[in-house]
Structures are given as structure tokens and as C-alpha cells.
Amino acid sequence: MAGKKVLIVYAHQEPRSLNGSLKDVAVAELSQQGCSVIVSDLYAMNFEPRATGKDITGTLSNPGFFNYGVEAHKAYKKQSLSSDIIEEQKKLQEANLVIFQFPLYWFSVPAVLKGWMDRVLCQGFAFDFPGSYDDGFLKGKLAILSLTTGGTASMFSKTGVNGDFRYFLWPLQHGTLHFCGFKVLAPQISFGPEMASEEERKRMVASWAQRLKTLWEEEPIQCSPPWYFGQ
């Protein structure tokens, strides 16, 4: 898929981790396809996760009563968001596909990646009212979560202690990505790499590389409750 633009939002501290390898193999495979690939390496960037008044340059619309959502929305329209947010929004605007590569922390993304979502996906840029879900402003783009877990696949099944893995995907895939208009591809979940052998970890990386070869032909999931909670 030569010419396609891919943004990888990557949240792991260790380049030699399985997350690092999964990110590296995605860069290699997609580049080989002729895609242009950009990586936002959040820990290396020391990306700011906290949503505060520092995100708004210039004067606040209501300095006496700080409402982050309202101020960020207005600052987006006035092009007065802080430069790190603007930079990420530009990358996102250009991208045809966004890959989120991260280890599952507490059934969700690590805080540094949560902060990327909280700050970058602001009203006016990623959505508005109207302008959410199928009409979200990032419509036409694809997104995929590629994550590693501490628990095994059986622990993340309907009868496992952690419940089905689809349960924890709801806030991320539906409440965030779908909300902003993304079409969501099925997640790539590498279960329990720390409990796996070196050979099994290599297979996890190879399996992701293999999937990426035909990723552009995949149909997105039907992102609604039955996919997540159906029998």
C-alpha cells in the first residue's frame, strides 16, 4: 500500500522489550510496503500526560473558572494549543492508519498514552457536537490497538478471572477511537509474553509482521455492544 501514511503511537520504556520489537517490525514491514511511517515514542519524548492550563498558550477564555474541555476547544480554534499537542494533531491528521502499541496497565493504556488521548483528541479537532462516532472528525482513518498483557489468553476469556479481553477494549475502541470516527481493526493481542519462552515471543513478533502484510485488506470490526459483550 505504497503512499499510505501510518502513525505509531508507542508507549514502552524499553526499546528491547516485546513492545519495542512489535513497534520495530511494524516500522520495517510498513516501510517495505512503501508506506511512510512516523513513530511517536511517548516515553522518549517525555510526553506530558496531565491536562492543565499549560496546554493553552495566551489568555484563557475564563481564567476565574478553569474548564479544560472548553478552554482546549477554544484554543484549538484559535490555534493556541501548546506546540506538543499541535505537533501530534498534525501527525494524526495526515495518517491513514494509527497503530497504538502498548503494554496493558490496569486493563487500559499506560498513563502516558492516556494523556496523549486526553490532550490530543480535543473537541473541534477529533470530534464536536454534532460530529461524534460515525461522524467523528477522524473518520476515514483506521486504528488498531496492538498490546501485550500480563495475563494469559485463558485468564482473559469469558470464564477466566479477568473476563473476556473484549470487555476492557470498550472504553478504548468504542469510547475513544470510534467516538472520534475511526474505523477500528481487530486488536493484535500478544498474551503473557513475560511468561512465554523466547521462541514464543519471536512467534508473537512474526505473527504481527505477517498480519501487517494484508492489514489494508481487513474489514473493520462492527464496533457496537454485541462485538464486546455478545454471547
Question: Cell 497503530 maps to which residue?
Answer: 99
Q: Do the Cβ atoms of 30 and 98 come closer than 8 Å?
A: no
Nearer to a second copy, 43 or 216 (CB): 43
Does the footprint of a second copy cover residue 227 (CB under 8 A)?
no
Please give the grid coordinates belonging to residue 29.
514491514
CB of 214 to a second copy, least distance (A): 30
Window contacting a second copy (CB under 8 A); options: 25-33, 112-120, 197-205, 208-216:
112-120
Among 23, 174, 183, 201, binds a second copy (CB under 8 A): 174
Site size for a second copy, by CB under 8 A?
51
Check residue 93 for interaction with a second copy (CB under 8 A). Answer: no
Task: Name the residue among 183, 163, 188, 160 with its Cα closest to residue 173.
Answer: 183
Q: Does 124 bind a second copy (CB under 8 A)?
A: no
220 binds a second copy (CB under 8 A): no
Q: Find the binder of a second copy among 4, 33, 49, 207 (CB under 8 A).
A: 49
> Which chain residues interact with a second copy by CB under 8 A?
13-14, 16-17, 43, 46-47, 49-53, 65-69, 105-112, 114-115, 117-119, 121, 132-133, 150, 158, 161-163, 167-168, 170-172, 174-176, 179, 194, 225, 228-229
